[in-house]
């Protein structure tokens, strides 16, 4: 199925060929057809979206509509939306209604986007399969017996199954890009600090990024123009001006690209993924790009560094959920200490409790230097080595994931195998650089595969143009 770009839909809206009301009704039909089977939306804002569509149709007729007028968007259940439920896929936030909107959500609203619902996710964005949610697993529309990836799995499926045009997810170690690869769509992670995190439920504060998922790179570029930029509520956001990403998408040129020799030679890489990557490299060389193998001695340190640091940050960030001020509170407590313990034990899921305990361990006095301090030093070394590579090359290519989507229930028994699903995506979060995943065909079972490109810090303009060009060359 071919999905129209937002630019083409906007032309139809402006010319009266279709209306925002028609678009919302179309997506609501798709949700009605698929949501019970795939478990994507935790809440659908049907009446609200229809009312909003009528308002924006009037704005379009009056010539006062915003840059994203009529774009139908789904929100991952980690983004605050004023007056709406927010649970991060967890029981511990049961009943919580957000009193404010995240900066990203407010900017999208001000640009006249239409929110259609709140999407399922791994609890507190911890997972690579969307199996850790308190609301049950989301299923991949390409094969409902398989996972969609995580933690933004439902956000990817919503786009994959035409339930919305764009989803807004979060990416701490690949949580936008990995599900995008599993679902055959485009997922984008910005440079750390390019997009405000105000109103995003925190997992690992020095890793978390908000990123869009869509069918087209051009749609990603248009959304990024709206949501990126300085924010007085988030001191970690860069003050750098936001370029016009859409204006440079068509600037085709030859690029210098690197790929990791160790990645393509890894025994853990599925044969179909390896073959697709090798074919893609050959296609791009034939198109005039320089594509060279490089060695990266820190590959085996990426996942340990990532999990030590993110679990430490999660341990700190999740201490605020105590059953006292909001969310779930156990009815079976006879003392304040028991209230804390039981509320957290009953409210958090297994994976979240595991990561909190791991983080508490690495932050403990006896092990702080041995794990946390050492991991921070390794993180700096990885960042410096990556920066050195990207001073020579325009981008670094890898498969987005080592395999295609695995079956539901297949990996939780072996958590190491589940964590390895992020082996190619975590680097961009460890170093804070931008990365994108775009479709790279299907394997012999008809399951989507993805290719990832990482660029240097704040090179989103180049990254989007490069991925647009490479994606087109791959599709020809």
Q: In whole angstroms, what is the distance from residue 359 CA to residue 312 CA?
A: 4
Query: Tell me, what's the pLDDT at 418?
Result: 60
> Which H/E stretch holds residue 305?
helix 299-317
Q: In whole angstroms, what is the distance from residue 187 CA to residue 157 CA?
A: 12
Question: Which residue of the set 76, 189, 411, 462 is catalytic?
Answer: 76
Answer whether 0.75 is exceeded by the pTM: yes
Tens-of-pLDDT digits for all 476 residues of the chain? 689 999 999 999 999 999 999 999 999 999 999 999 999 999 999 999 999 999 999 999 999 999 999 999 999 999 999 999 999 999 999 999 999 999 999 999 999 999 999 999 999 999 999 999 999 999 999 999 999 999 999 999 999 999 999 999 999 999 999 999 999 999 999 999 999 999 999 999 999 999 999 999 999 999 999 999 999 999 999 999 999 999 999 889 999 999 999 989 988 899 999 999 999 999 999 999 999 999 998 999 999 999 999 999 999 999 999 999 999 999 999 999 999 999 999 999 999 999 999 999 999 998 999 999 999 999 999 999 999 999 999 999 999 999 999 999 886 556 655 656 788 999 999 999 999 999 999 999 999 999 999 999 999 999 999 999 999 999 88
Give residues with Cβ within 8 angstroms of 476, minimum separation 6: none
Among 134, 147, 121, smallest CA distance to 421 is for: 147
**Cross-strand partners of 397:** 259, 453
Query: Tell me, what's the pLDDT at 29?
Result: 98
Domains, the chain, in order of start with CATH, read: 6-248 (3.90.1300.10), 303-369 (no CATH)
Question: Which residue of the set 175, 196, 218, 437 is catalytic?
Answer: 175
475: annotated active-site residue: no
Query: Tell me, what's the pLDDT at 476?
Result: 82
Which residue shows structure tokens 């460890």?
430
76: annotated active-site residue: yes
Query: Tell me, what's the pLDDT at 302?
Result: 95
Query: Tell me, what's the pLDDT at 413?
Result: 59
Q: In whole angstroms, what is the distance from residue 445 CA to residue 182 CA?
A: 13
Query: Tell me, what's the pLDDT at 144?
Result: 98
Question: Which residue of the set 90, 151, 418, 457 is catalytic?
Answer: 151
Q: In whole angstroms, what is the distance from residue 58 CA to residue 16 CA?
A: 11
15: annotated active-site residue: no
Q: In whole angstroms, what is the distance from residue 40 CA to residue 169 CA?
A: 13
């Amino acid at each position: 199925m071919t999905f129209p770009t937002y630019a083409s839909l906007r032309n139809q809206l402006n010319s009266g060929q279709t209306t925002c009301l028609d678009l919302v009704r179309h997506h609501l039909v798709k949700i009605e057809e698929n949501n019970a089977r795939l478990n994507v939306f935790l809440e659908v804002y049907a009446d609200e979206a229809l009312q909003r569509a009528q308002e924006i149709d009037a704005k379009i007729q009056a010539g006062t509509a915003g840059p994203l007028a009529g774009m139908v968007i789904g929100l991952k259940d980690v983004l605050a939306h004023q007056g709406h439920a927010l649970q991060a896929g967890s029981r511990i936030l049961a009943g919580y209604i957000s009193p404010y909107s995240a900066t990203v959500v407010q900017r999208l609203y001000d640009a006249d986007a239409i929110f259609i619902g709140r999407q399922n996710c791994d609890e507190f964005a911890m997972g690579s399969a969307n199996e850790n949610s308190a609301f049950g697993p989301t299923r991949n529309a390409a094969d409902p017996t398989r996972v969609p990836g995580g933690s933004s799995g439902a956000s990817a499926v919503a786009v994959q199954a035409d339930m919305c045009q764009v989803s807004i997810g979060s990416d701490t170690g690949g949580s936008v890009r990995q599900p995008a690869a599993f679902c055959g769509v485009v997922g984008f992670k910005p440079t750390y600090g390019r997009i405000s995190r105000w109103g995003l439920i925190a997992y690992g504060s020095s890793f978390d990024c908000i990123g869009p998922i869509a069918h087209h790179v051009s749609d990603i570029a248009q959304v990024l123009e709206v949501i990126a930029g300085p924010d007085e509520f988030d001191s970690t956001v860069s003050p750098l001006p936001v370029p016009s990403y859409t204006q440079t998408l068509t600037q085709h040129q030859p690029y210098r690209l690197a790929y990791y020799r160790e990645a393509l030679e890894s025994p853990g890489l599925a044969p179909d993924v390896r073959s697709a990557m090798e074919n893609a490299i050959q296609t791009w060389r034939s198109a005039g790009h320089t594509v060279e193998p490089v060695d990266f001695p820190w590959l085996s340190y990426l996942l340990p560094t990532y999990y030590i640091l993110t679990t430490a940050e999660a341990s700190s960030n999740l201490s605020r959920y105590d059953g006292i001020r909001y969310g779930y509170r156990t009815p079976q407590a006879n003392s304040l200490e028991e209230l804390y313990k039981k509320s957290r034990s009953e409210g958090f899921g297994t994976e979240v409790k595991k990561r909190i305990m791991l983080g508490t361990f690495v932050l403990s006095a006896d092990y702080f230097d041995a794990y946390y301090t050492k991991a921070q030093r390794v993180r700096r070394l990885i960042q410096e080595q990556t920066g050195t590579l990207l001073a020579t090359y325009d981008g670094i290519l890898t498969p987005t994931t080592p395999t295609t989507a695995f079956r539901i229930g297949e990996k939780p028994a072996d958590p190491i195998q589940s964590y390895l699903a992020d082996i190619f995506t975590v680097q961009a979060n460890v170093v804070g650089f931008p990365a994108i995943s775009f479709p790279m065909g299907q394997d012999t079972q008809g399951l989507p595969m993805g290719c990832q490109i990482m660029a240097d810090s704040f090179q989103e303009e180049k990254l989007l143009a490069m991925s647009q060009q490479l994606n087109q060359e791959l599709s020809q």
